[in-house]
């Protein structure tokens, strides 16, 4: 199986790129489509491994799918006939957990295994389960089988406030509430643009969902009908990856048809680092224009600096003059790439930052008796050299490929199927920007 890249780095990366549809929106939209009784057509669906895995999974449940064109997916849920998600396929992809909504409405009862995906920390499943129970869903976990069993005795109703915002939890509770017989209120909800894209999708089909800051109100309806196709928003994570790559190689890049509000906190930091950018005709142009300045960041939920962006920011900071700090607040295992970057000569060390009330400061479930490594210090600039790199999670994977493109000489990046879970046409896009990369 081809699962490695050979990269000849040290070349300036420049050009124009059109982003793919957002992975974190497409996956949820596909699952939400199973709430319908008729066909749904989604545009801008990225052809990535996670989407292919999800399509295969829902096909096993009886759902029919076909691509009308390259990135236009038709979903027909009318033959959804199985209420138990296969353990093997469900464990491969985290969003399988969100099938609770459609399966409960179809069958009243369903069985879903513990979710898969990248092991970047203990995801807050307990908050999601608590939210489901607060709306009237019975949920039990069988540790012998690894399955959650859920029952919908009556349609969800009520109020739930997340202790800490969760992207997946917010979206699942929205889907569970879309057919409620009364108003459902979700408080301290996550505010990511991908969630608003889901809300727009459901509202276009007849849903009655309203966001008021961090509060979301849902007034249930009887059915969802979509008489037109729906377009998924562009992938802001992909945008940040290519911008950091271009600037780290002293190049320039134009991002086509991008909305500024998807990148607000990133734009603030990139400007602080001394990178100039301009916005014209719905396109963002970034250009290296001199020595990069070191800029420290803290990750947080939207509209803050995304946790998915910080690995690429680390690469950029290896080329900045001075010291910068990355403080990870969202997940407790997000620095898998650090030891790999050290192989290329990066000067990175893990540091400890004392914070008051860490259980409140961090978005994950902080445990006092556990040792955490939540911050790193990067010293630059460094002329990275070639090496052999091993990918362990999706965003770290993109970081290691970017690092190899920045480094001088030939590098090998292994386990690239993990990277391709979230990046469409990565090799072709890199080549179009002047990079030398080959999959083997």
Return the active site residues: 118
Quick one: which of 33, 53, 63, 138 has its CA closest to 93? 53
Query: Is-contact 433 13, C-beta < 8 A?
Result: yes
Q: Where is 167: in which H helix or E strand?
A: helix 167-177
Structure tokens at 361: 């400061």
CA distance 48 to 62: 22
Q: How many CB atoms lie within 10 A of CB 220?
A: 18
User: Could you give phi then psi for residue 293, rounded to 5 degrees?
Assistant: -95, 145
User: Could you give phi then psi for residue 158, rounded to 5 degrees?
Assistant: 115, -155
Q: What residue has token string 């005795």?
A: 153
Q: What residue has token string 């990133």?
A: 266
Which residues make Cβ contacts (< 8 Å) with residue 212, sequence separation at least 6? none
Which residues make Cβ contacts (< 8 Å) with residue 371, sequence separation at least 6? none
């Amino acid at each position: 199986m081809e699962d490695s890249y050979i990269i000849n780095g040290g070349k300036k990366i420049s050009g124009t790129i059109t982003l793919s549809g957002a992975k974190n929106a497409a996956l949820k939209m596909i699952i939400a489509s199973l709430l319908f009784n008729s066909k749904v057509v989604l545009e801008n669906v990225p052809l990535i491994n996670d989407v292919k895995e999800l399509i295969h999974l829902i096909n096993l449940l009886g759902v029919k799918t076909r691509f009308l064109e390259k990135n236009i997916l038709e979903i027909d849920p009318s033959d959804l006939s199985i209420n138990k998600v296969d353990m093997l396929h469900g464990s491969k992809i985290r969003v399988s957990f969100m099938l609770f909504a459609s399966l409960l409405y179809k069958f009243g009862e369903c069985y879903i295994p513990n979710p898969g995906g990248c092991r970047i920390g203990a995801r807050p499943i307990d908050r999601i389960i608590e939210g489901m129970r607060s709306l009237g869903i019975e949920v039990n976990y069988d540790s012998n089988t690894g399955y959650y069993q859920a029952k919908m005795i009556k349609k969800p109703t009520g109020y739930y406030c997340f202790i800490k915002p969760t992207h997946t939890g917010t979206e699942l509770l929205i889907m569970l509430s879309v057919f409620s017989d009364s108003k459902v209120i979700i408080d301290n909800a996550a505010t990511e643009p991908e969630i608003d894209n889901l809300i727009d999708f459901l509202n276009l089909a007849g849903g009655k969902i309203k966001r008021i800051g961090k509060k979301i109100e849902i007034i249930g309806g009887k059915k969802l009908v979509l008489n037109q196709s729906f377009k998924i928003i562009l992938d802001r994570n992909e945008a940040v990856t290519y911008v950091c790559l271009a600037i780290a190689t002293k190049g320039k890049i134009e991002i086509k048809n991008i909305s500024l509000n998807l990148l607000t906190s990133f734009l603030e930091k990139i400007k602080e680092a001394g990178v100039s950018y301009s916005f014209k005709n719905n396109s963002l142009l970034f250009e290296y224009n001199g020595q990069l300045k070191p800029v420290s960041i803290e990750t947080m939920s939207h509209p803050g600096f995304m946790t998915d962006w910080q690995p690429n920011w680390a690469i950029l900071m290896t080329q900045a003059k001075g010291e910068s700090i990355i403080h990870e607040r969202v997940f407790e295992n997000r620095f898998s790439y650090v030891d790999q970057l050290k192989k290329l000569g990066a000067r990175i060390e893990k540091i400890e930052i004392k914070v008051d009330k860490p259980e409140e400061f961090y978005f994950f479930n902080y445990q006092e008796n556990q040792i955490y490594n939540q911050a790193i210090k990067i010293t630059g600039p460094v002329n990275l050299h070639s090496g052999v790199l091993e990918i362990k999670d999706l965003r770290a994977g993109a970081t290691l490929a970017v690092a190899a493109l920045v480094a001088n000489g030939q590098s090998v990046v292994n386990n690239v199927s993990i990277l391709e879970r979230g990046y469409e046409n990565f090799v072709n896009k890199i080549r179009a920007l002047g990079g030398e990369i080959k999959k083997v």
